[in-house]
Amino acid sequence: MARLDQKVSSRPWSMAQFARYCPKPDNNAGSLVLSLGQKLTGYAVYQWILDEATLLQIAVDPGHRRKGYGKRLLNAVVNALQEQRVARCLLEVRESNVAALSLYIESGFRIDGKREAYYPDENGREDAILMSCSFVSEIE
């Protein structure tokens, strides 16, 4: 995952950061990978506390984008979180990441707000769009 993150991220995580989220008993964290053959094609990393989760990372190899793999990973994360009885998932995404924003909205996430100047970029700082998705109805 760390090698793929170096390909896709301007601020990649270290191997130790990824190891922290590999499934271990009772650590309230998880990661999913998508492989084609022997090649890692994508990954997702998440954590939860009580009934609320955060999607920390999701990525697909640039050579395999726009083929539905991001959606498959996101759906798998949602299913894993629902199995943990998580009621809501939060995430943040770069404002310029139109493809990810579209995927999240299409998957039922809604825009909750903005964190100004959150992400560093080559021009200074970029805003983060805050999003969430509820997995249970408000009536429950």
Would you please indicate which residues are annotated as catalytic (active-site) residues?
92, 104
* Residue 14 structure tokens: 């270290």
For residue 61, give the nearest of 45, 76, 39, 78 by alpha carbon: 39
Dist CA 109 CA 63 (whole Å): 26
Dist CA 95 CA 115 (whole Å): 10
CB 91 within 8 A of CB 109: yes
Dist CA 16 CA 34 (whole Å): 20
Position 85, amino acid: R
